[in-house]
């Protein structure tokens, strides 16, 4: 039975009824806020291509953390910018490395914050690639050995969760075995299971000093043209012990998010990446869009597609918007 008996506009008449029938609701409980922490002192350095996002030294990061806590955001994802880089990224397993010290600082002073660490090497290697190089390509298995050392170091420092982002084959299994054999069986893994070789990462590479010195990352990150491969990657990570799987980037891969949600019964994260953030910021600055409304619409679309968790540089702004109605 159709029109005139059925009139869908009845349920759009005013905000009260729209709220009652709304299918997707974005809350602060969905959000993880990434933070860049740089080795050094008295650093609060805005990232030119990412307005309102900063690199912080450990002696100043409380300015950021106090606001995160005040907004009731549940979790942060830490990225480190070290003072020392070498061919293998050895500072990633240095007990006094910038991330290790940051974890201890946060867990001591902000115990309510859930601390997730990015597990990769690109910020720490002199060549900017995500592992040990052999013949100008990343050696998968040698990189796994160093990953083992990195995650144990993060867990010892107090990380609540580790998030491997390098797209190495077998990385989830390697991490699970390393954590379990070292007494950290309760530390979960959020796997960057479907991480694409995307052009949307440009601003992040400026933020983290992680631009490759040569070539690109297409031998280990996924081809943006591929869909079914993402399902294979997710299945492998779940079999190897991933507790949460992720799609990165989010906005141009909403179909992948929905595919994974339809096929697997595990928590699903999506990374609203730097390029997605910067485009909205730039258009908002020019007055071409209503920045706040586009921000909320974008993140709602990511959740509507199936994401349970959204990693986003907008997390603080979303929290303020929701708080203020």
Q: In whole angstroms, give the CA distance from residue 210 to residue 291.
A: 28
**What percentage of the chain exceeds 90 in pLDDT?**
82
Q: Model confidence at 214, in pLDDT bands (50, 70, 90)?
A: low
Both tokens assigned to 23: 């299918």
Residue 218 resides in a domain: yes
Contact 158/166 with Cβ under 8 angstroms?
no
Residue 186 resides in a domain: yes
**pLDDT higher than 60, residue 208:** no
**pLDDT higher than 70, residue 207:** no
Residue 4 resides in a domain: no
74-124 pLDDT, tens digit each: 999 999 999 888 888 888 999 999 999 999 999 999 999 999 999 998 888
Question: Which residue would you say has higher pLDDT here, 134 or 28?
Answer: 28
Both tokens assigned to 255: 């179909």
Residue 16 resides in a domain: no
* Residue 204: per-residue pLDDT: 74
Read off the CATH number of the domain in which 87 is found.
Answer: 3.20.20.70
* Residue 212: per-residue pLDDT: 66
Residue 251 resides in a domain: yes
- Per-chain mean pLDDT for the chain: 94
Residue 8 resides in a domain: no
User: Which positions are catalytic?
Assistant: 195, 248
Residue 2 resides in a domain: no
Q: What is the pTM of this model?
A: 0.95
Q: What's the total number of domains in the chain?
A: 1
Q: In whole angstroms, give the CA distance from residue 284 to residue 257.
A: 26
**pLDDT higher than 80, residue 216:** no
Q: Name the residue range of residue 53's domain.
A: 23-323
Q: Model confidence at 220, in pLDDT bands (50, 70, 90)?
A: confident
């Amino acid at each position: 039975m159709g029109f005139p008996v059925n009139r869908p506009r009845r349920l759009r008449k005013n905000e009260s009824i729209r709220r009652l029938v709304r299918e997707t609701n974005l809350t602060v409980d969905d959000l993880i806020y990434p933070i860049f922490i740089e080795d050094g002192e008295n650093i609060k350095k805005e990232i030119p291509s990412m307005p309102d996002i900063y690199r912080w030294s450990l002696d100043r990061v409380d300015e950021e953390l106090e606001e995160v806590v005040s907004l009731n955001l549940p979790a942060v994802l830490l990225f480190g910018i070290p003072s020392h880089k070498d061919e293998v990224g050895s500072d990633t397993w240095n007990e006094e490395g910038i991330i290790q010290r940051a974890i201890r600082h946060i867990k001591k002073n902000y115990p309510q914050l859930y601390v997730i660490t990015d597990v990769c090497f690109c910020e720490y290697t002199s060549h900017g690639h995500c592992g040990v190089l052999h013949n100008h390509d990343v050696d998968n298995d040698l990189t796994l050995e160093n990953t083992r050392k990195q995650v144990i170091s993060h867990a010892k420092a107090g990380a609540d969760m580790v998030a491997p982002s390098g797209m190495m084959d077998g990385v989830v299994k390697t991490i699970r075995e390393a954590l379990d054999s070292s007494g950290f069986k309760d530390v979960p893994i959020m796997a960057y299971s479907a991480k694409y070789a995307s052009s949307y990462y440009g601003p992040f590479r400026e933020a983290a000093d992680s631009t490759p010195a040569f070539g690109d990352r297409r031998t280990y990150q996924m081809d943006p043209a591929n869909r079914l491969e993402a399902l294979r990657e997710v299945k492998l990570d779940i079999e190897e012990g991933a507790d949460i799987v992720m799609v990165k980037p989010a906005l141009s891969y909403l179909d992948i998010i929905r595919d994974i949600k339809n096929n697997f019964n595990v928590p699903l994260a999506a990374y609203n990446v730097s390029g997605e953030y910067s485009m909205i910021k730039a258009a908002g600055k020019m007055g071409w869009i209503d920045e706040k409304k586009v921000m909320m619409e974008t993140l709602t679309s990511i959740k509507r597609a199936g994401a349970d968790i959204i990693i986003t540089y907008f997390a603080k702004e979303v929290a303020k918007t929701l708080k203020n109605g």
